[in-house]
Amino acid sequence: MSIYPPDKIWWKPIDREEKIWLILSVIWLMFTFFLMPVLHVYGKQNPPELSYSVTAARYEDLANKFIQKYQVKDEQGNPVALNGVPVVHPEPGGDAYIIARAWSWEPVLELEKGKTYRIHLSSLDFQHGFSLYPLNMNIVAIPGQDYIMRIKPTSSGEFSILCNEYCGIGHHTMVGKLIVKE
Amino acid sequence: MAEQNFRTCSITGLKVHLPVERLIKANTLTALIFIAVGGAAALLAALTRWPAVHLLGPEWFYRILTAHGFDMLIVWIIFFEIAALYLGSAVLLGVRLAAPAVGWIAYILMLGGAVLVNIMVLAGKADVLFTSYPPLMAHPLFYLGVILFAVGALIGTILFFATLYMARKEKTYTHESFPLVTFGLFAAASISVTTLIHGAGIYIPTLLWSLGIIKNMDPSAYRLVWWGLGHSSQQLNVTAMISIWYLVGALSVGMKPINEKFCRTAFVLYILFINVASEHHLLVDPVFGSAHKIWNTGYIMHLAVLASMIHAIAVPAGIEVALRKKGYTKGLFEWFKMAPWGNPAFSATMFSIFIFGFLAGITGVTFGNAQINITAHNTWRITGHFHATVVGGTTLAFMGVTYYLLPLIFRRQVWAMPLAKIQPWIYGIGVAILSSSMMLAGAYGIPRRHWDIANFGGSPFAFAWDPTVYMWLGVFGIAALMAVLGGIIYVVVAFGTVFFGKKV
């Protein structure tokens, strides 16, 4: 029994049943192992590869310049905002910035369907979690790191961004929006 | 060493060193107190996340969640594991514990640390949740409490190694090899050492940072080292849990390992490969490139998964062989039907095996795939997964073995046996439904650690979830009540036995 000392010689060959199980396990593990690199090459949804270290001040500066340059204007030429958060229409195929801070996502990005964007994501204070609903896509936002996602929207409509990393007492109020136009 | 310091167990024939018996009792009872505290926190947290009830305000929800995580994942489990290490070394080998006084120092450090952390959390000085990610900062005494607890646990672990060494040196254990359970616990203790080193590696600088001595805590570096503690401690739980499966299997049905080489190799694979897999928590983090993540979570983790696959056949097969030897040989499943399901230790172990194997292990390996992790990271899928591993697996296995510790170590007959008999069923079924409903709600994107998924605290950007989510959240609430009921029965039966159980 497993609570008493084993036989003097216990290094014995394993039986057929265990061998079959072991072989099946190794085949399955090989499959799941190769799945990851193969999907990195042929898959359409992979974790972003690129990140740079950046200070919060520098990132805020870059993002604010981006917002000023590309903020959407109405007929009168006034800048458009949604719930006080600027709506920004970046150059199709260009760079876009998202600021995560306690407890908001800024700006509201307005993207065009079928165009590929480089979306930068960083936090100015605590750790946050970028979670896109209803796609259920989740990326970590860390202060000090500019994380760059290459994203091509394939469906249009309104998407919500919520924070899924605890970032203080107002964590659950940290919701934002992302719009994809036809 | 004085012979009168030993007694011979009338049931197992094992020689029990009396000072170690006192230490096992103290650690087990303390673990029981903390599962009661953590369970009360679990009830409050679950009643808040159940939208129909939404009990606590945000401040207390995050606070209670911090306490729940710490008391359950760390305090309850590690106190019980330390008791298991003393049992697996001194009692199973029939030798003296190397230094009982050191065991008491470890106990006091752990208890002091645990109490300190709880005070700081409940006083509202450490609303940082279990991961305590910087730049969120807690009171220095919170970090100190964690460190004291970890140091105590490390001393207890070293005492385990010292006892094995003394048994050899004093030639009080004369067989060639240690029993399998001791060997498994040796693997758990080895993982525990590297885990606790990561803990010191991260919490000592964090303490200094909270005191203002260190100016900067790099959040990415923190995540890397912290998960060396956070995940490895769960791997240590897995290894301890599997050792307990072998222990209860032996005590309840007389199970023998089907092949010692097979089982022991699996434990060695755990020691070598399980710690590195921690980086699957960083799959959607910046900083690390894909090649590194694939190497770490793909190749290395799968060698640890292979070890789990070995136990996945070895444990049930061992139980089947033992029951067939008792004469239950009709058809494929007579042994399964005739198994001692009325023995709470056995039924708890079987639930632990099922929940761990089918709900916890498979989902864990799946979420460890980078592409799937994008849809799972920090959603409730993760929370559901680790409730299956740590609650359905480890906690349930520990509950099961308690029903043997009570007669063998506390030397009292289990009090209220009819209640004890149904306890693993209520708890096991409750936890299985609980973790499944969490994973199903999480598949829609329900975030973990979130106070208000219905209204987002009144945010103007609030949106409506797919309504199916609310069905799963309702199922979750009911299952949580069921699991809490099972937990209450466990604590009541255990304390009832200690105080009112008939002496063996």
φ, ψ for residue B501, nearest 5 deg: -60, 145
Question: Would you say residue B2 has pLDDT above 60?
Answer: no
Whether residue B179 and residue A6 make contact (CB cut-off 8 A), yes or no, is: yes
Is the Cβ of A72 closer than 8 Å to some Cβ of chain B? no
User: Could you count the other beta carbons within 10 Å of the beta carbon of residue B137?
Assistant: 16
Question: What is the complex's ipTM, to 2 decimals?
Answer: 0.92
Which residue matches tokens 């975030």?
A: B447
- Over range B118-134, report the average pLDDT: 95
Q: Taking all residues of chain A, what is their mean pLDDT, rounded to a whole number?
A: 93
* CATH class of segment(s) A50-181: mainly beta
pLDDT value for A2: 78
β partners of residue A71 = A88
Distance CA B448, CA B377 (A): 9
Q: Which residues of B touch A3 (CB under 8 A)?
A: 12, 14, 92, 179-181, 246-247, 250-251
- Tell me if B407 is assigned to some domain: no
- Provide, as residue numbers in chain A, all residues whose Cβ is less than 8 Å from the Cβ of B299: 33
- Mean pLDDT of the B262-270 span: 93
User: If pLDDT is split at 50, 70 and 90, which confidence band does A167 have?
Assistant: very high
Q: What is the rounded distance in angstroms from the CA atom of residue B161 to the CA atom of residue B106? A: 14
pLDDT computed for residue A120 by the predictor: 97
Residue B151's pLDDT band (cuts 50, 70, 90): very high
At B13, the pLDDT band (50, 70, 90 cuts) reads confident
Question: Which of B498, B285, B256, B314 lies closest to B374 in space, CA to CA?
Answer: B285
Residues 106-165 on A with a CB inside 8 Å of B are 125-127, 129, 131, 133-134, 136-140, 142-147, 160, 162-165
Helix-strand-coil split of chain A, %, nearest 5: 25, 35, 40
Confidence of residue B302 (pLDDT cuts 50, 70, 90): confident
Provide, as residue numbers in chain A, all residues whose Cβ is less than 8 Å from the Cβ of B318. Answer: 2
For A71-124, what is each residue's pLDDT tens digit?
Answer: 999 999 999 999 999 999 999 989 999 999 999 999 999 999 999 999 999 999
Average pLDDT, chain B: 93
Q: Average pLDDT in the B438-459 region?
A: 95
Report, as an integer, the average pLDDT of B54-70: 96
With CA atoms as reference, report the closest residue to B427 among B461, B390, B385, B399: B399
Report the pLDDT value the prediction gives residue B1, as an integer from 0 to 100: 47
Give the full edge-to-edge strand order of the sheet including A95-101. A50-53, A145-151, A117-123, A95-101, A104-106
User: How far, in Å, CA of B257 to CA of B65, rounded?
Assistant: 40
Q: What is the reported pLDDT for B288?
A: 86
Q: Does B100 fall in a domain?
A: yes
Q: Give me the pLDDT at residue B4, please.
A: 67
Least confident residue range of B38-52, B135-149, B277-291, B452-466: B277-291
Which residue in this structure is represented by tokens 């979670």?
A: A131
Give the minimum alpha-carbon distance from B452 to chain A in angstroms, rounded to a whole number: 6
Residue B278: count other Cβ atoms within 10 Å of its Cβ: 26
pLDDT tens-digit map of A137-164:
999 999 999 999 999 999 999 999 999 9
Q: Is B324 a domain residue?
A: no
Q: Decide if A83 and B460 are in contact by the 8 Å CB cutoff.
A: yes
Number of domains comprising chain B: 1
Confidence of residue A14 (pLDDT cuts 50, 70, 90): confident
* Run of H or E residues at B248: helix B219-253
Q: Where are the alpha helices (DSSP H) in chain A?
A: 16-42, 56-70
DSSP per-residue letters across B51-108 = TTT--S-HHHHHHHHHHHHIIIIIIIHHHHHHHHHHIIIIIHHT---S-HHHHHHHHH
CB contact under 8 A, A17 and B257: no
- Taking residues B240-266, report their average pLDDT: 93
pLDDT of A155 reads 94
Task: Tell whether the model's pLDDT for residue A133 goes beyond 60.
Answer: yes
Q: Where are the domains of chain A?
A: 13-43, 50-181
Radius of gyration (C-alpha) of chain A in whole angstroms: 24
Q: A52 in helix, strand or coil?
A: strand
- Has residue B406 been placed in a domain? no
- In this prediction the pTM is 0.94
Beta strand A85-88 with A108-112 is: parallel
Q: Residue B14: which domain range?
A: 1-174
Mean pLDDT confidence for B23-34 = 97
> Quick check: B265 and B308 in contact, CB under 8 A?
no
Write down the pLDDT at residue B3: 58
Burial tier of A76 (Cβ tally within 10 Å: 0-12, 13-18, 19+)? exposed
Pairing relationship of beta strands A95-101 and A104-106 according to DSSP bridges? antiparallel
Backbone angles phi, psi at B391, to 5 degrees: -90, -60
pLDDT of residue B289: 84
CB count within 10 Å of CB B53 equals 11
CA dihedral B496, B498, B499, B500 (to 10 degrees): 60
Residue B95 lies in a domain: yes
Cβ pair B376:A138 closer than 8 A: yes
- For residue B185, name the pLDDT band (cuts at 50, 70, 90): very high
**Contact check, Cβ <8 Å, A21/B313:** yes
- Rounded to 10 degrees, the C-alpha dihedral B332/B335/B336/B339 comes to 180
Which DSSP letter does residue B294 get? I
Predicted confidence (pLDDT) per residue in B330-378, tens digit = 999 999 999 999 999 999 999 999 999 999 988 988 898 889 999 999 9
Least confident of B20-24, B58-62, B166-170, B491-495: B166-170
A175 vs B249, B365, B456: nearest CB = B456
Q: Amino acid identity of B346?
A: F
Q: What pLDDT shows up at residue B280?
A: 86
